[in-house]
Amino acid sequence: MSSFVINRTKLWSRKSREDKIFDILNLLLLTTVMLLVLYPLYFVVIASISNPDKVFNGEVWLWPQDITFEGYQRIFQDDRIWIGYKNTIVYSFVGTLVNVTLTLMAAYALSRKDLIGRNFFMIFFVFTMFFSGGLIPTYLVVKDLGMVNSMWALIIPKAVAVWNLIVARTFFQATIPTELLESAQMDGCSNTKFFLKVVLPLSKPIIAVMVLFYAVGHWNAFFDALIYLNDEGKYPLQLILRSILIQNEASANMVGDVESFAAQQRISELIKYGVIIVAAIPLLILYPFIQKYFVKGAMIGSIKG
């Protein structure tokens, strides 16, 4: 550690005055941006375990006041939360699996120079980024396919995101050399086997990027569920979260034993902050494990090629 500090000190002393000013301003700017991003999440965390009266009075801004976990206790006593969790996990897992599989297959095919008409297909995909059928026609198609009030209504219509397809195709073009394919073909390797045995093992960074993008999208999605799902037992967590936060519909299991209206409002505030944390925790846990792949894959897939 001491050698690191000494080296950093020597490096700092060698910099010009303009470089030092730039580094200081850059550090201040990045620190400000970091605080603007992190503080709202931090405030929600401390507000979820603080006395709601102290939150209303503006006394909670840096440290929690009168710590209480009553909000979390009531959240986890509600069956809707657990049902929403289960549904969201299923939707996210199945949806991400379908998304990643189709995206990687299409992206690899479009990255191959020997694919006849690949430019036409790429234009066809890109066209959908700017023009869509609209909400009503899409709903009618989903209805005619018999997917209303089913999990597939949330997955099939958005099976492939064109932007992710472009990023994955760029990654394959920059990472998988043509010579590797030619060498494999000389050994009698088929296209399918080459994709499964060679391309996918070399594509861990972009797979991690696709998994993160699609999983976050499914986890946070609520609009499609609001449109297509009629059975409350199939609602994802975000739709239940929406009813609690926006429509102020904390269930009877959460506040039913509280008699006064003022006390119910107090508990509801704790619950609102708590459900935000409960909904965000899985993604916060997932991200550190794929961060190294995410940064590498996103940079290669977005810039090179």
Residue 115 CA to residue 130 CA, distance in Å, equals: 25
Sign (positive or negative) of CA dihedral 131, 160, 298, 28: positive
DSSP state of 44: H
pLDDT digits (tens, 9 = 90+) for 186-229: 888 888 888 888 888 888 888 888 888 898 889 988 889 999 99
Find which of 34-43, 58-67, 253-262 is predicted with most confidence, using mean pLDDT: 34-43
Q: Has residue 286 got a pLDDT over 70?
A: yes
Residue 154, pLDDT score: 92
204, burial (CB in 10 Å: exposed 0-12, middle 13-18, buried 19+): middle
Mean pLDDT throughout 237-248? Answer: 75
Give CA torsion, residues 91, 97, 99, 101, to 10 deg. -160
The two structure tokens encoding residue 21: 């000013």
Q: Tell whether the model's pLDDT for residue 257 goes beyond 60.
A: no
- pLDDT over 80 (residue 38): yes
Surface-to-core class of residue 95, CB atoms within 10 Å of its CB (0-12 exposed, 13-18 middle, 19+ buried): buried
Percentage of residues in the chain having pLDDT higher than 70: 84
Q: Evaluate if residue 254 carries a pLDDT over 80.
A: no
Convert 120-154 to b/e letters by CB count within 10 Å (16 or more is b): eebeebeeeeeeeeeeeebbeebeeeebeebbbbb
Q: Rounded to whole angstroms, how far apart are CA atoms 221 and 227?
A: 11
Nearest by Cα to 196 from 264, 71, 105, 272? 105
DSSP 113: T
Q: pLDDT confidence of 262, banded at 50, 70, 90? A: low
Whole-angstrom distance, CA of residue 96 vs CA of residue 76: 26
- Please report the pLDDT score of residue 305 as a whole number: 44
Average pLDDT over residues 53-57: 77
Task: Tell me: pLDDT of 1 over 80.
Answer: no
Least-confidence region, from 22-31, 112-121, 124-133, 253-262: 253-262
Helix (H, G, I), strand (E, B) or coil at 193: helix
Q: Is pLDDT larger for residue 251 or for residue 146?
A: 146
Top pLDDT among 29 and 271 is at: 29
**Structure-block tokens of residue 210:** 């696709």
Of the candidates 66, 36, 68, 48, the residue with the CA atom closest to the CA atom of residue 278: 48
Question: Of 32-41, 60-69, 208-217, 254-263, which range is least confident?
Answer: 254-263
Is residue 295 over pLDDT 80? no
Q: Where are the domains of the chain?
A: 2-68, 72-303
For 97-120, write each residue's pLDDT tens digit.
999 999 999 999 998 888 888 888
- Collect all residues with Cβ–Cβ distance below 8 Å to 119 and sequence separation of at least 6: none
Q: Which residues does 215 contact at the CB level (< 8 Å), separation at least 6?
A: 92, 96, 283, 286
Q: Which CATH superfamily is domain 72-303 in?
A: MetI-like (1.10.3720.10)
Amino acid at 124: F
Spatial contact of 154 and 224, defined as CB atoms under 8 Å apart: yes
Q: What is the pLDDT of residues 145-199, one digit of tens each?
A: 999 999 999 999 989 999 899 989 988 888 888 888 888 888 888 888 888 888 8
Task: Identify the residue with better confidence: 270 or 298.
Answer: 270
259 or 98, higher pLDDT: 98
Alpha helices per DSSP H over 246-305: 252-255, 261-303
Is the pLDDT reported for residue 298 higher than 70?
A: no
Which range (87-91, 243-247, 259-263) has the least confidence?
Answer: 259-263
pTM of this structure = 0.78
Looking at residue 65, the DSSP 8-state letter turns out to be S
